[in-house]
Amino acid sequence: MQTTYTSGAVLTINRPDGTTEDVVNTKHARDGVIPAAIYAAMVKATREAGKGEIVGQRPNVVAAPLDVQRMAIAGELEDCAGAFPGSREWHKGVALEKELAAFDGAHPEVIAEIRAARTARTAEGVARALRMED
């Protein structure tokens, strides 16, 4: 169970020594693409510095397990838990609640795994408690 998302752009650079290098740029990329003006400036600066020639860019596609994605949303939601009602943080929390509910609706298998793990942990704790002697 994995899905993918873009995180920056991969620049392909031909170095002066003849090697080709892929460099990930997360600072300037928006939705996997570096804007044309910034990209042109990067190509020019790299060429003028004698560091090689940027020959292309492509989105940096990263695979992420679904349970990690859910954990990230839930973690952000926890960060908004103590927000003052009506504040920006509170509105962000409301949006995250909706996003988490939509995620849970779209991926019931993740919820099933979480419930199974929770049941196993509870059973293990009860068994440990019952083995204890007074």
Could you tell me the strand order of the sheet in which 20-25 lies?
A: 20-25, 2-14, 53-65
32 conformational bin, left if phi > 0, alpha if psi -120 to 50, beta if neither: left
Which has the minimum average pLDDT: 17-26, 60-69, 90-99? 60-69
pTM for this entry: 0.52
Question: For the segment 26-54, what is each residue's pLDDT rounded down to a tens digit?
Answer: 888 888 889 999 999 999 999 999 999 99
What mean pLDDT is predicted for residues 77-104?
92
Q: Residue 1: what pLDDT?
A: 58
